[in-house]
Structure 1
């Protein structure tokens, strides 16, 4: 069985965040969703747990940073094409996310852009040419 990742993100408005992540392609898993948390599925191995601040504090005693002001992590998800990168970032913008908070990367065989969600968490969307062979 492949390993799965569950990215846990503190959010200030759970319904708004759930709608945002649905707009960028995630599907809600109602089995792990209630009024304090929502499990948003990107793939068989990638899940994002949106947690209210009170719920998040049950898992960590550390302060919740304001992701609009500081960066703790940069999250990156792959895309199938350059157009898919632009489409996902465009969907994020239409859903209220910020566009390109990090520099666009265009290296011919690799193309990436980014968006931030309503709480300021930065997501990079990256495409790498499947025919690319690294040197070495």
Structure 2
């Protein structure tokens, strides 16, 4: 089954959020961008809808998670190499993001985590699938 993935995340300030992710190298689809939301393009079939909190609330009756206290999701993205992981993390820190934990290195997989300016958790990792032990 072919499908596209749309992750929806609430944000406090859409312009600052777009500025943050632009500094990381992401682009946005202007066709799905207005004062309430933007569509961040992550991959050919992977998108993150960044929705201003008041607009996000129109899709749910539940409270929005306080990302300073709770984790609602961890979005994980793969990278082409360990170097690409480190390069993106450098951009994250320069753009105002935080690194909440030490890098994880399992030999065949290397990953780092960051919090964006809205407190959402992201992971960026490189995995050498040829080095994964077969059962």
Same fold flag (TM > 0.5): yes
Aligned counterpart, 2:44: 44
Deviations along 1:22-73, one digit per CA (max 9) or x if unpaired, are 1222111000000000111011111111100111011111101111211121
Contact persistence 1:112–1:125 (CA under 8 A): yes
Report matched runs for 1:41-80 at 5 Å: 41-80=41-80
Q: CA deviation at 1:2?
A: 3.3
Name the counterpart of 2:108. 109
Partners of 1:17 and 1:98 in 2: how far apart? 14
Distance in 2 (CA, whole Å) between partners of 1:24 and 1:83 is 15
Q: Aligned with 1:126: secondary structure?
A: strand
TM superposition shift of 1:74: 1.2
In the alignment of these two chains, the number of paired residues is 135
- Cα drift, residue 133 of structure 1: 3.7
List runs of 5+ in structure 2 lacking aligned partners. Answer: none
Give me the TM-score of the superposition, normalised by structure 2. Answer: 0.94
- Unmatched 5+ stretches in structure 1: none
TM-score by length of 1: 0.93
- Is contact 1:20-1:95 (8 Å) kept? yes
Aligned CA-pair RMSD: 1.3
Shift of 1:118: 0.5
8 A contact 2:10–2:56 mirrored in 1: yes
